[in-house]
Amino acid sequence: MLTDEFGREVSGVRVSLTDRCNFDCIYCHNEGLGDTRGPMDPQDDEMGTDDVVRFLEVAAEFDVDAVKFTGGEPMLRQDLEEIIERTPEGMEVSLTTNGTFLPGRAEDLVDAGLERVNVSQDALDPEDFAAVTKSGAYDKVLEGVDAALEAGLDPVKLNMVVFEHTAGYVPEMVDHVAENDGLQLQLIEYMPELTGKPEWNIDIQRVHDWLAEQADEIEHREMHDRKRYWIGGGDGTDGDRSDSNAGRGMVEIVDPVENPTFCANCHRVRVTHEGYLKGCLNRNDDLRPMGEMTKPEIREAFREVVANRVPYYGEYMVRNGDGEWELNDEYLDLPA
């Protein structure tokens, strides 16, 4: 397993299969690349099926044991089932999707080897949902969640980006996952530096504080320094959760912004749909092409991107005298 300069082993990869999407979410940062989404038809710049599989085979050589497929909307790829089926044995496969294509395909995805799924759902009201996603597919997303559960993908994590437009929906969403077995909620901190709308940002600590007041149990995950809040019902013990979680909602906050501990525990690198490796979601100055996607080229690029990983908030990015984030000269190649 490759280890970067800061002692972080790279045990997972996140692979974008396309930047195409049938939604137009107002907060989308497209895997840190900005809003570059194109037409709905397959594009020549997307990695082919064999390219994706070849990359995963190399990643497995370096003992990577988990892959998450994402996009855009990865289920626009009609070869998704084949890619999952050809993923190296022993590598956990998960998927992030908006859920609209899960009806009719969830069972085939599970048969191919899909083990976990995250479904983006930012509101429980169709009009509110449409305002955020610019899509009228609310009912189809609910169908997709049900299809995932019926196919055996339990739990299904609902991804909700928390910012000015959605913060008021959090209590209702927490109740929703508490009342529906098999659902969990993942609240994702809005990243204004990637989306260009800093005025939409909220103080994520307020959400932590509110959840702490509601929770009857709080877990702390070392990975990324995350907290999990169990809300509603249960006896507040650390016993067998399979028996005690009926009527309880599990809520987890993903809050990397200005959280150096989050980055200090990051064990994942990313791959863009065009076949570029990147060591961090929040950086685009470290993109490493994998050439013609031969295995020697992939190995070289993989080693290089891991070797060039840097911390983020607090080290790689530091506050200047005006309180703005800027690159730390320590990590720049400055002329002699």
Domain boundary assignment for the chain: 2-235+244-331
Check the annotation: does 53 bind a ligand.
no
The answer to whether 28 is a known ligand-binding residue is yes
Q: State yes or no: pLDDT of 224 exceeds 70.
A: no
The answer to whether the annotation marks 229 as part of a ligand binding site is no
Instruction: Encode pLDDT of 121-178 as tens digits.
Output: 999 999 999 999 888 999 999 999 999 999 999 999 999 999 888 889 999 999 999 9
Contacts 24+ apart (CB under 8 A), 236-244: none
209 contacts: CB under 8 Å, gap ≥ 6: none
Tell me: is residue 67 an annotated ligand-binding position: no
Question: 258-310 pLDDT, tens per residue?
Answer: 777 778 888 999 999 999 999 987 777 789 999 999 999 999 999 999 999 98
- The least confident of 122-126, 204-208, 241-245, 252-256 is 241-245
> Average of pLDDT values for 197-205?
81
Q: How confident is the model at residue 242 (pLDDT cuts 50, 70, 90)?
A: very low
Confidence of residue 239 (pLDDT cuts 50, 70, 90): very low
DSSP code of residue 2:
-
- 42-71 residue pLDDT tens: 667 899 999 999 999 999 999 999 999 999
Place of tokens 């005690």: 244
Query: From 3.20.20.70, 3.30.2350.10, 3.90.1150.10, 1.20.120.330, which CATH number describes the 2-235+244-331 domain?
Result: 3.20.20.70
Q: Is 52 annotated as a binding residue?
A: no
Tell me 181's DSSP state. Answer: T
Band (pLDDT 50/70/90 cuts) for residue 326 is confident
pLDDT at 220: 80
The rounded distance, in Å, linking the Cα atoms of 112 and 25 is 29
> Is 221 annotated as a binding-site member?
no
Q: Does 54 show up as a binding residue in the annotation?
A: no
Q: What is the pLDDT averaged over residues 108-116?
A: 98
CA distance 122 to 133: 8
CB 33 within 8 A of CB 272: yes
**289 beta partners:** 276
pLDDT at 15: 97
- Exposed (0-12), middle (13-18) or buried (19+): which is 213, by Cβ within 10 Å? exposed
Q: Is 229:215 a contact under the CB 8 Å cutoff?
A: yes
Query: Cα Rg for the chain, rounded, in angstroms?
Result: 20
Higher pLDDT, 226 or 183: 183
Ranges 35-49, 72-86, 244-258, 313-327, most confident: 72-86
Here the tokens at position 46 are 């997307």
263: annotated binding-site residue? yes
149 Cβ contact list (under 8 Å, min separation 6): 156, 182, 183
Q: Annotation-wise, does 25 bind a ligand?
A: yes
* Residue 157 labelled as part of a binding site: yes
Q: Is the pLDDT score of 235 beyond 50?
A: no
CA 296 from centre of chain: 28
